[in-house]
Amino acid sequence: MTDTQQANLGKTGESPQERDAKAADAQAGTSAAPDREGQEAALTREPRWQPVYSGSNRLKGKVAIVTGGDSGIGRAVAALFAREGANVAIVYREDYEDAQDTAAIVEQEGATALTLQGDVGDPAFCEQAVNATIDRFGRLDVLVNNAGEQHPAEDIRDITQEQLNATFRTNIFGMFHMVQAAVGHLPAGSAIVNCTSVTMYKGAPQLLDYSATKGAITTFTRSLSQNLVEKGIRVNAVAPGPIWTPLNPQGGADPEKVRHFGEDTPMGRPGEPNEVAPAFLFLACADGSYMTGQVLHPNGGTVVNG
Catalytic residues: 210
What is the side-by-side order of every strand in the sheet holding 234-238? 113-117, 87-92, 63-67, 142-145, 191-195, 234-238, 295-296
8 A C-beta contact, residue 69 and residue 100: no
Distance (Å, whole) CA 35 – CA 140: 35
Residue 85: what are its φ and ψ, rounded to 5°? 105, 0
Contact of 178 with 143, CB cutoff 8 Å: yes
Q: Contact, 116 vs 134, CB < 8 A?
A: no
Say if residues 52 and 9 touch (Cβ distance below 8 Å).
Answer: no
Of 153, 277, 161, 128, which Cα lies nearest the Cα of 205? 153
Spatial CA neighbour of 284 closest among 236, 244, 231: 236
Comparing CA positions, the residue from 76, 90, 82 lying closest to residue 106 is: 82
Q: Nearest CA to 49 among 58, 40, 36, 37?
A: 40
- Provide the sign of the torsion angle of the four alpha carbons 36, 38, 39, 43, taken in this order: positive
In the chain, the amino acid numbered 150 is: Q
CB-CB contact of 74 with 148 (8 Å): no
The candidate with the shortest Cα–Cα distance to 78, out of 99, 56, 54, is 99
